[in-house]
Amino acid sequence: MSLGLGVLGCGSVFAGPYRGMIDRLQAPGRVHVSAVFDVDDRKRCGAAAQYGVDPELGSATNVIEHEDVEVVLVLTSMNEHGPLAAQALAAGKHVLVEKPMATSLEQARELVELARRGPGLLVCAPHIFLSPTFRAVHASVRAGSVGRLLTARARYGWAGPWWGEWFYEPGGGSLFDLGIYNVTSLCGLFGPARRVTALVGVAVPERTVNGRTMPVEADDNAQVLIDFGDARFASVTTGFTMQKYRSPAIEVYGSEGTIQLLGDDWAPEGWELWRNEDASWRVHPESDPHWQWTEGLRHLVDCIETGRAPITRPEHAYHALEIVLAAQAAGSDGVARSIASDFPDPVYDRAWEDAESDRFAHDRRSHDGL
Amino acid sequence: MSLGLGVLGCGSVFAGPYRGMIDRLQAPGRVHVSAVFDVDDRKRCGAAAQYGVDPELGSATNVIEHEDVEVVLVLTSMNEHGPLAAQALAAGKHVLVEKPMATSLEQARELVELARRGPGLLVCAPHIFLSPTFRAVHASVRAGSVGRLLTARARYGWAGPWWGEWFYEPGGGSLFDLGIYNVTSLCGLFGPARRVTALVGVAVPERTVNGRTMPVEADDNAQVLIDFGDARFASVTTGFTMQKYRSPAIEVYGSEGTIQLLGDDWAPEGWELWRNEDASWRVHPESDPHWQWTEGLRHLVDCIETGRAPITRPEHAYHALEIVLAAQAAGSDGVARSIASDFPDPVYDRAWEDAESDRFAHDRRSHDGL
Amino acid sequence: MSLGLGVLGCGSVFAGPYRGMIDRLQAPGRVHVSAVFDVDDRKRCGAAAQYGVDPELGSATNVIEHEDVEVVLVLTSMNEHGPLAAQALAAGKHVLVEKPMATSLEQARELVELARRGPGLLVCAPHIFLSPTFRAVHASVRAGSVGRLLTARARYGWAGPWWGEWFYEPGGGSLFDLGIYNVTSLCGLFGPARRVTALVGVAVPERTVNGRTMPVEADDNAQVLIDFGDARFASVTTGFTMQKYRSPAIEVYGSEGTIQLLGDDWAPEGWELWRNEDASWRVHPESDPHWQWTEGLRHLVDCIETGRAPITRPEHAYHALEIVLAAQAAGSDGVARSIASDFPDPVYDRAWEDAESDRFAHDRRSHDGL
Amino acid sequence: MSLGLGVLGCGSVFAGPYRGMIDRLQAPGRVHVSAVFDVDDRKRCGAAAQYGVDPELGSATNVIEHEDVEVVLVLTSMNEHGPLAAQALAAGKHVLVEKPMATSLEQARELVELARRGPGLLVCAPHIFLSPTFRAVHASVRAGSVGRLLTARARYGWAGPWWGEWFYEPGGGSLFDLGIYNVTSLCGLFGPARRVTALVGVAVPERTVNGRTMPVEADDNAQVLIDFGDARFASVTTGFTMQKYRSPAIEVYGSEGTIQLLGDDWAPEGWELWRNEDASWRVHPESDPHWQWTEGLRHLVDCIETGRAPITRPEHAYHALEIVLAAQAAGSDGVARSIASDFPDPVYDRAWEDAESDRFAHDRRSHDGL
């Protein structure tokens, strides 16, 4: 009953993070890699050799249509995400697609439609909703711990990649690569956005990538404001312009208190809660320091095995994409944009909790490493 | 040689913070209060009794024109700041004016002009540039510690006053009351702003003030983006919508590191610096926990006594006002505004350092309170 | 009904901290200074001039027997504490004595006896039990928040005085000057100690004091272990050997959790509590940053005015003294010492709470200094 | 050239932590498991099956004398450590022995002697000297960053195991299991100890282990004082009596500053340094969050492959053992004990640095998991 995986894109996202997750799922026989493709011969052959599969598949289509592939992982460069995910869903396969799910709203809308009709499930990165820490913050907020949400800040940035020219080329940029995490998290807590404005630009005109100097043609610096309606706002600070920080990843201010996620939303380091009625901060240490941001794959496998719907819905990824595109537009002309789409609140159901407790049972590390 | 002070407005800003500072300056005989005025009889008489001056002065003009008044403190409600400060400068007096210096750019421009022509000096709140901690951050940034400034965040907010209806009435609001601090600080580090956009609104439509419920008609929630040119940005999060925080007041991200002011910009609690070449955070504990945000008065007295120019210039306050007004405008229609004005970088000269070391000598508290 | 104060010792402890407290009590007419004495003419005359009292009193006895002196403050060098406090109590006066209450157990026993017989009240420094933060920790512990107390650490040290030769002369030392705070705090939480051992010595053989090099003949470095019975222990780390720290002042580990007082016990900066059942730290910011370690004087005045008993009892100070003397003895020969004395748990009664809430009402500082 | 490993003791210390390290060394062909032994049939057979080796070896001697075993890992219960390690060294094998190296000084002395004569290398746990963070602290201290070391604190404890009855039986206890880490670390920084005193006892008389209540007959609570000569001291707080902490693992106070190792000494979370001349804390984030406390095995393999001497010497483990035994003795009668042994300062040579940089090259994780 092992699920066959087809991998599209064998670059760095595959080679490190996803391979680790695949290996962990393969050990107990839940998955196996059936087919791989990358336009780069070296990467394709390397991945094929690791898994003992055909190194000579000539196209992504060969992977998608492979009879032993039930799940397609779309880990290619960003502009191919939408078309490949659509093709795989149309072929009846389950799909995990890295962020962004597509680079245009038309493509993204098609994916949402295909996923609705089924039979394939669609899981879109980022998978931050699946971290126990985000889950705890979400549950606390929904339980009213801080009252009505009024304002918020989020930040995710770093010095920027020294590999991968595409990050700095048209179609790349920090908003798509980094900002989308904060946008996804904030909407997960506040609900759908209604309006967006932003400052977006290139703050460092030249970068050294893979040892060579290149001009920067995609945004490397962005500040985004999101209006969640009823004068409730949030800001997102992102960019390849931040060397180091020491501040919460997400700060949410409500009418009765404040709640914060520490670390980064893709790598949480606990959370903390101020309630006026407590008159103290409750500081929760990270409950799962080994949580990986590739957990979406395990979640997809869980859902396929059990027949339940994923926690994260394609509609949420669509909404986040609309916000990022609106921020780019507002950044170019200084005019705020309305946001039209909507998405359902995540439902952490009983099945998810069972899968989680099962995961903890296997991953458990007692004190002192024993 | 004691300077005569005239106080306009004897409400809460006078009664607590400024009175404490006046008392400290009065003890060594540097100042004395010569005249006070408030439209509220009770407040006026109370202040007059404290200082043994005439309780029956009938107008602000009587204070300004009082022959023993050399320095006028404008501590009234916001819409009177500009006209009264102008009148006092025109009468040749020195002026300290609380924030905002005025509520329109026209009034503010007149004040800048009057101060330029002299003879009276004009010191405008907020006085945050005078805190040793801001000074240390400014010096570190100007020395290149974090390289070229690229992006930044600042925040100042709280749950909002339960006294003073005017905070929530037209002409009040969180941008003027709180946001102006962060705006002033950020411009002090980045230099003049070039463009502004914002989300501004009323998030809590009704408040209880002095025991009575009232509708809120001035902004109580705002997020502002500032463009400092060359795609270098900052965000300001402010509002009467934040119950508590646990994050730096100001975060500045440069090409070589990060620098942060902790606490609040009007009540610093130290600062910290990451430099890539250090590979560590340098955490500086607060050097002057007893620093008061009313230090502007002492600074004005220092300047009058020594004949030097104040560190903080009216041009800077004018610039901050232009930004706040632009944020309000952008918040109402979603369109970014250009900023036209400029201001000189503060110069912490030798005289300032001497005055500071003198102050430390008098305020010094050694270990264990001895 | 203003109480007359007699001050013995007009040195640094008086000049800074206690004078501030006296001034605050004098303003509302609760106390006045009636007589002062110091063997140093300059200090005596200075203090006398400040308060407009006779500068020519020839001895401590003149102060103690002064007809307008109801309360005697013993702020002299340490070896005079016991005899002067005894003389004042014998004369029927109320007494506040700085730490240590005496330098021998015999003297201390006499003080306890005199205070028991009355009529004068005896309040012994340190006054840490009176800080709202210690009070909150004590209440939490007594309410069982961390279960049964099992082990603990406390620390108080600094680089050491550059004034006051006596600190480094026989009869001085870090245990008496600093260690007694931690000892007092820990016993306040654990109850009476049963046994003590220690390492005590001179780690820096020469010091520069008042500009001159001198040999160090009193302990400047000490580590003390306290056995509270039933194998429940605590350590105290003290000395003029600590340049700076960044750790809790007091850490108490119980069977169900951990509780910590931050800052220093004489200058708390909040407290934090871990309970296993919470699975989070509750971090309480300092509730009273302006609390002064001279609060014992205000408390004594409260008690005299209202006729109630002080929170801190002389028996507790006696017990702390026995521990410090035992630590010195154990430090000299490496043999643990038993502790014989006992003391009653502090009772924070309704009267104390009323006095506190009254104090808060007067000291209250709302947001933004207003 | 793969080294053959023989494993003695296949319990929890082997099954989790060391197996992970063995697997990482086996992947590149540096080691292989040749023989295993455990008195428990189930554990022995399980380990044998994992590595495909003979499950029927009848004794530890069979492992030690196995011709394909070059390195013996002694991971048994504590009282067998000494005899087995001695037997393996006498047979000319390299040995890694878990802490304590032995339970008597006689046994330990024999091990030191055997290791001196060779040919087998002896590496004794704990391996904390090998963490990059301890190394950084050691280097900073040796470079004089905090001046002369004067006093220190260290702590390592937790709630205690709910498995493994032996922890609470005679021969077990918190000093051997936990306290030895702090003792080893402190001596690594201060050099050899000269005297020891302690409070040691059973604070929780009954525990539930493996679901059954049992009496506790070994120390579960201890406070130890160490005298490093010249009145320079340290305290160690340890026990199965600490539910949670939030304080530095090791605090070292020198004449010019303070240096602290955060986290736990076996699981560091960075370090921080105050120097008076800096007037700020330099906070170093953890450089190697994936460092494992089983690194001693990799280090032993490095040393065997390259012919160099291990960083950690058996003499250091002997010294730590002498201190722990002295603490137990002092805890029983309240009399301080002298310490006789000595040990050489660790030398982090060029070979070690090369091995480290090689390790980083293989373990490197770039940003975002890539």
Report yes or no: C199 and D225 within 8 Å, Cβ to Cβ.
yes
Helix, strand or coil, per DSSP, at residue C297: helix
Instruction: Identify all chain A residues contacting C279, using CB atoms and an 8 Å cutoff.
Output: 284
Please state whether A188 falls in left (phi above 0), alpha (psi between -120 and 50) or beta: alpha
Q: Model pTM?
A: 0.94
Q: Collect all residues with Cβ–Cβ distance below 8 Å to D125 and sequence separation of at least 6.
A: D96, D97, D98, D99, D296, D317
State whether C197 and D197 contact (CB < 8 Å).
yes
pLDDT interval class at C361 (50, 70, 90):
low
**What DSSP state is assigned to residue A264?**
E
Query: Could you identify the residue written with the tokens 């997809």?
Result: A300
Average pLDDT value for residue range C215-238: 98
Given this model, what pLDDT does residue C356 score?
A: 77
Residues of A with CB under 8 A from a CB of D: 12-13, 16-17, 158, 161, 266, 292-294, 365-370
Q: Is the peptide bond before A126 cis (omega within 30 degrees of 0)?
A: yes
Size of interface C-D (CB pairs under 8 A): 174
Given this model, what pLDDT does residue D362 score?
A: 54
pLDDT interval class at A40 (50, 70, 90):
very high
Min Cα distance A359 → chain D (Å) is 17
pLDDT interval class at B361 (50, 70, 90):
low
Return the residue in B280, B283, B288 with the most chain D beta carbons within 10 A, the one to mutate for interface testing: B280
Closest Cα in chain C to D282? C246
First-to-final CA distance of chain A: 32
Neighbours of chain B (3+ CB pairs under 8 A): A, C, D
Q: How far apart (Å, rounded) are the C-alpha atoms in residues D224 and A193?
A: 59
pLDDT at B327 over 90: yes
pLDDT per residue over A67-83, tens digit each?
A: 999 999 999 988 899 99
Given this model, what pLDDT does residue D310 score?
A: 94
Q: Kindly state the helix (H) or strand (E) to which residue A223 belongs, with its residue range.
A: strand A221-227
**What DSSP state is assigned to residue A335?**
B
Q: Collect all residues with Cβ–Cβ distance below 8 Å to A365 and sequence separation of at least 6.
A: A290, D16
Q: How many other C-beta atoms lie within 10 A of the C-beta of residue B77?
A: 16
Inter-axis angle of helices B78-90 and B105-117, to 10 degrees?
30
Q: How far apart (Å, rounded) are the C-alpha atoms in residues D23 and D21?
A: 5
CA distances from A96 to A11, A99, A127, A294, A323 (A): 16, 10, 10, 10, 21
**Residue of D317, A221, C311, D21 lying closest to B228 (CA atoms):** A221
Q: Collect all residues with Cβ–Cβ distance below 8 Å to A121 and sequence separation of at least 6.
A: A94, A95, A115, A300, A303, A304, A309, A310
Structure tokens, B201: 């609104």
Average pLDDT value for residue range B214-231: 98
- Least reliable range by pLDDT among C110-119, C357-366, D95-104, D238-247: C357-366
- Least reliable range by pLDDT among B38-47, B314-323, B356-365, D55-64: B356-365
CA dihedral B309, B314, B320, B326 (to 10 degrees): -160
Given this model, what pLDDT does residue B362 score?
A: 54
pLDDT at C316 over 80: yes
Closest Cα in chain A to C276? A284
What is the average pLDDT value for chain B, to the nearest integer?
A: 93
Given this model, what pLDDT does residue D360 score?
A: 64
Contacts by residues D42-46 (CB-CB < 8 Å, ≥ 24 positions apart) = D43/D10, D43/D11, D43/D15, D44/D10, D46/D10
Beta strand B206-209 with A31-37 is unpaired
Residues of C with CB under 8 A from a CB of A: 272, 278-285
Q: Collect all residues with Cβ–Cβ distance below 8 Å to C307 and sequence separation of at least 6.
A: none
- Least reliable range by pLDDT among B17-21, B190-194, C237-241, C340-344: B17-21
Mark D145-156 as b/e (b = at least 16 C-beta within 10 Å): bbeebbbbbbbb
Closest Cα in chain A to D11? A370
pLDDT interval class at A361 (50, 70, 90):
low
pLDDT at D82 over 50: yes
Average pLDDT value for residue range D319-340: 98
Q: How far apart (Å, rounded) are the C-alpha atoms in residues B310 and B303?
A: 6
pLDDT interval class at B360 (50, 70, 90):
low
Q: Kindly state the helix (H) or strand (E) to which residue B46 belongs, with its residue range.
A: helix B41-51
Q: How far apart (Å, rounded) are the C-alpha atoms in residues B31 and B5?
A: 7
pLDDT per residue over C125-165, tens digit each?
A: 999 999 999 999 999 999 999 999 999 999 999 999 998 89
Beta strand A71-74 with A3-8 is parallel
Report yes or no: C323 and C193 within 8 Å, Cβ to Cβ.
yes
pLDDT per residue over B246-263, tens digit each?
A: 999 999 999 999 999 999
Q: How far apart (Å, rounded) are the C-alpha atoms in residues B243 and B252?
A: 24
Neighbours of chain D (3+ CB pairs under 8 A): A, B, C
Between CA A270 and CA A277, with CA A276 as vertex, the angle to 5 degrees is 105
Q: Collect all residues with Cβ–Cβ distance below 8 Å to A64 and sequence separation of at least 6.
A: A6, A8, A72, A84, A87, A88, A91, A93
State whether C367 and B294 contact (CB < 8 Å).
no
pLDDT interval class at B363 (50, 70, 90):
very low
More confidently predicted of A129 and D356: A129
- Least reliable range by pLDDT among A287-291, A324-328, C20-24, D207-211: A287-291
Q: Kindly state the helix (H) or strand (E) to which residue A107 belongs, with its residue range.
A: helix A105-117
Given this model, what pLDDT does residue A346 score?
A: 87
Min Cα distance B73 → chain D (Å) is 37
Q: How far apart (Å, rounded) are the C-alpha atoms in residues C132 and B65?
A: 49
Report yes or no: D88 and D64 within 8 Å, Cβ to Cβ.
yes
pLDDT per residue over C93-131, tens digit each?
A: 999 999 999 999 999 999 999 999 989 999 999 999 999
pLDDT at A111 over 90: yes
Min Cα distance B237 → chain D (Å) is 28
Instruction: Identify all chain A residues contacting B199, using CB atoms and an 8 Å cutoff.
Output: 195, 197, 225, 227, 231, 233
pLDDT per residue over D103-162, tens digit each?
A: 999 999 999 999 999 899 999 999 999 999 999 999 999 999 999 999 999 999 999 999
HSE-CB for D19 with a 13 A CA cutoff: 16
Given this model, what pLDDT does residue B15 score?
A: 85
pLDDT per residue over B72-121, tens digit each?
A: 999 998 889 999 999 999 999 999 999 999 999 999 999 999 999 989 99
Return the residue in D243, D332, D333 with the most chain C beta carbons within 10 A, the one to mutate for interface testing: D243
Q: Collect all residues with Cβ–Cβ distance below 8 Å to C332 and sequence separation of at least 6.
A: C200
HSE-CB for A203 with a 13 A CA cutoff: 30
Q: What are phi and psi of B166, to 5 degrees?
A: -60, -25
Percent of chain C with pLDDT over 90: 85
pLDDT per residue over C261-305, tens digit each?
A: 999 999 999 999 999 999 999 999 999 888 889 999 999 999 999
Query: Could you identify the residue written with the tokens 């980045």?
Result: B190
Q: Is the peptide bond before D126 cis (omega within 30 degrees of 0)?
A: yes
Helix, strand or coil, per DSSP, at residue D120: coil
Instruction: Identify all chain B residues contacting D272, using CB atoms and an 8 Å cutoff.
Output: 283
Given this model, what pLDDT does residue B350 score?
A: 81
Please state whether B263 falls in left (phi above 0), alpha (psi between -120 and 50) or beta: left
Instruction: Identify all chain D residues contacting A167, using CB atoms and an 8 Å cutoff.
Output: none
First-to-final CA distance of chain B: 32
Q: Give strand pairing partners of C37.
A: C8
**Residue of A344, A293, A292, A356 lying closest to A314 (CA atoms):** A344
More confidently predicted of C72 and B24: C72
CA distances from A268 to A136, A218, C316, D227, D362 (A): 11, 28, 47, 42, 25
Given this model, what pLDDT does residue D350 score?
A: 81
